[in-house]
Amino acid sequence: MITGTKTVIITGGTRGVGRAVAEHLASLGYNLALSYVSDDASAEATRAAIAASGAESLIVKGDTRNRANVEQLFAAAKERFGDIYGVFANAGVENVEAPFTEMTEEELDRVVDINFKGTFFTLQQAARSVVDGGRVIATSSTIASYPPAGSGAYAATKAAVRLMVQVLALELGPRGIAVNSLDPGAVEGAGIFTHMSDELRQAFYKQTPMGRLPRASDMAGTVAFLLSDGAAMVSGHNLAVTGGFRI
């Protein structure tokens, strides 16, 4: 059990939802260990924002598809901060739209390697590293529940994330570790939202009772809740942070 400052590892933590979560957790006093693949400018901007809030951060360049990179991230975080309280497995690739008959092996490998293998390696290391009573969170997708045509590979990998989370919740439950996945849907200003036509955006708005799509700040608040003491008994769930999309 951790009584001092808690440390959270976030993969894909320097852009989009990952960065919003990191900066929000920094404002709450967490230590952050973040990974990213290639965008050095975003990594430096995230580092500066966290420092401005008075929090501590460690930012590591590495690819979650590489098990050794994931192990190095966790080792560096433990060396810098000590015990690991929580992990947010957020790194992923956007949907590669292609019918089953047209998806290439290279496209399939990329989606599976990043969304499935990368998440598996992160959750595997989380299971080995997170302290008793800690938290593990992974990012799924609305597409796992409502798959459009052309999303076969992506939808399958995001559905797999939910199943991994359920299995890990069973395995880590005896240690008091809560494990959940998040379903962010289309987040305003990030991911697939930036590629949508105005017509498609309006269709999403009409199917969302809250009248807007979730923002990165909504995801950050949900992650903070799942890390809190109040969420100790929330485990094995997929939380849809979608404003009621398609209910």
CATH number at residue 73: 3.40.50.720
Tell me if 56 is assigned to some domain.
Answer: yes
Kindly report the pTM of this predicted structure. 0.94
Tell me if 183 is assigned to some domain.
Answer: yes
List active site positions: 154
In the chain, the amino acid numbered 122 is: T
* Angle (CA) 223 225 229, round 5°: 130
Q: What percent of the chain has pLDDT over 70?
A: 96
Average pLDDT over residues 18-37: 98
How far is Cα 198 from Cα 193, in angstroms, rounded to an integer? 10
Residue 135 DSSP SS3: strand
Structural domain range at position 94 = 7-240
Whose CA is closest to 64, among 112, 29, 2, 1?
112
In the chain, the amino acid numbered 92 is: G
Reported as a single tens digit per residue, the pLDDT across 61-90 is 999 999 999 999 999 999 999 999 999 999
Tell me if 153 is assigned to some domain.
Answer: yes
With beta carbons less than 8 A apart as the criterion, state whether 188 and 215 touch.
Answer: yes
Tell me if 246 is assigned to some domain.
Answer: no
Residue 141 DSSP SS3: coil
**pLDDT value at position 191?**
61
Tell me if 122 is assigned to some domain.
Answer: yes
Whose CA is closest to 95, among 167, 192, 6?
192
How far is Cα 112 from Cα 107, in angstroms, rounded to an integer? 9
40 membership: H or E segment, kind and range: helix 40-52
How far is Cα 170 from Cα 242, in angstroms, rounded to an integer? 26
Task: Please state the domain count of the chain.
Answer: 1
Residues 6+ apart with CB under 8 A from 62: 35, 36, 37, 69, 70, 72, 73
**pLDDT value at position 193?**
62
Residue 88 DSSP SS3: strand
